[in-house]
């Protein structure tokens, strides 16, 4: 997993509330494409018109936001089904940070397992960031300092669980973090085989 320390770039805004994981990535894309192929299909329902042609008003089609590493989203972003592919699709588009008032719980957890930083801010702060970045002005998201900084000097604190923060800084998901402790795990297993041999009987 790519470590997350500090990113700077434009912030695309998709302010609609309750954007669920099916809007982020359609289920049929998950069955037909691998994890690293999902980026182009992110937000397909919003990016296309009813006839399948590109929606010219979709924010990620605008040149200044096409490569935005930051997404400013509406409340309850990532609600709906628990598909991890929603985060894979965002990461495949190059989005490393999502800022919203609230998130679907499972989506929020999946972000940390895939190198994407979800930031909860108050509604007024999210609106302020949207206004500050609407013309393509950049944001800086600094996980080391736990701050978001705008071009006008505005600064917003990032509140994050210390263990989740450290894992992102080091590029660790739960499995890789666990594998760092293989010596301790092996020691425990050897001791437990002696203390409870019936558990290990085959």
Helix (H, G, I), strand (E, B) or coil at 74: coil
Question: 109: domain range?
Answer: 6-171
* 3-state SS string for 10-73: CEEEECCCCCEHHHHCCHHHHHHCCHHHCHHHCCHHHHECCCCCECCCCHHHCHHHCCCCEEEE
* 123 found inside a domain: yes
Supply angle C-alpha 45, 51, 52, rounded to 5. Answer: 50
Give me the CATH number covering residue 49: 3.20.19.10
Tally the domains of the chain.
1
* 110 found inside a domain: yes
pLDDT at 179 over 90: no
How many of the other CB atoms lie within 10 Å of CB of 198?
5
How many of the other CB atoms lie within 10 Å of CB of 85?
23
Q: What is the mean pLDDT of residues 172-196?
A: 81
Q: What is the mean pLDDT of residues 125-132?
A: 95
Kindly report the average pLDDT of the chain as a whole number: 93
pLDDT at 202 over 70: no
* 202 found inside a domain: no
Rounded CA separation 64/9 (Å): 10
pTM for this entry: 0.88
* 104 found inside a domain: yes
* 17 found inside a domain: yes
Q: Which two tokens stand for residue 112?
A: 């940390």
Q: Is residue 4 very low, low, confident or very high in pLDDT (cuts 50, 70, 90)?
A: very high
Report pLDDT for 76: 98
* 24 found inside a domain: yes
């Amino acid at each position: 997993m790519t470590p997350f320390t500090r990113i700077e770039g434009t912030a695309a805004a998709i302010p609609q509330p309750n954007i669920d994981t099916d809007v982020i990535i359609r289920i049929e894309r998950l069955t037909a494409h691998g994890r690293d192929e999902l980026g182009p299909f992110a937000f397909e329902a919003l990016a296309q018109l009813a006839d399948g042609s590109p929606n010219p008003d979709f924010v990620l089609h605008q040149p200044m936001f096409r490569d935005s590493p930051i997404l400013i989203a509406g409340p309850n972003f990532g609600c709906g089904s628990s598909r991890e592919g929603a985060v894979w699709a965002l990461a495949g588009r190059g989005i490393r940070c999502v800022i919203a008032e609230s998130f679907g719980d499972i989506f929020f957890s999946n972000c940390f397992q895939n190198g994407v930083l979800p930031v909860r801010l108050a509604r007024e702060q999210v609106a302020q960031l949207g206004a500050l970045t609407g013309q393509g002005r950049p944001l800086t998201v600094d996980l080391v300092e736990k701050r978001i900084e705008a071009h006008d000097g505005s600064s917003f604190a990032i509140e994050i669980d210390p263990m989740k923060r450290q894992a992102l800084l080091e590029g660790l998901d739960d499995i890789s973090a666990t594998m760092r402790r293989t010596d301790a795990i092996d020691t425990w297993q050897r001791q437990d085989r002696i203390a409870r041999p019936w558990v290990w009987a085959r």
